[in-house]
Amino acid sequence: MAVQCEMIVGFLVPHRCPNQAVAECVKCSRRFCEEHLGLRQGGLVCTACEQGLAQPVAVPQTARSFDEQDIQVFANVGSFDDGDDDLFADLS
């Protein structure tokens, strides 16, 4: 019986990776598919362990590189909804 990859993927709806596991991570001992394993000096390491995460969740590396300006933009996004006018109310 095929073993499913243990990586959690998906931004809006998190779910297990549908790919078949091919090998075990040397750090966390979980089984992952070829997409979520990388060959490193110590052996095969999963994406989560490579990024220093305790859980097997695929987090894009770019999210770790956000600077203070990026964070401020995210924080200000809610200010666009402060007005009473619903710009999308009549799009039926």
For the question of whether the overall pTM of this predicted structure is more than 0.75, the answer is no
Cα distances (Å, whole numbers) of residue 77 to 8, 24, 63, 72: 27, 41, 17, 9
H-helix segments, the chain: 47-50, 68-76
Which pLDDT belongs to residue 88?
56
The secondary element (H helix, E strand) that includes residue 16 is: strand 15-16
Report the distance separating Cα 88 and Cα 20, nearest Å. 43
pLDDT tens readout for residues 51-90: 888 888 876 655 556 667 866 776 665 555 555 555 555 5
Average pLDDT on 31-38 reads: 95
pLDDT in tens, 36-46: 999 999 999 99
Q: Which residues pair with 9 in a beta bridge?
A: 15
84 vs 35, which has greater pLDDT?
35
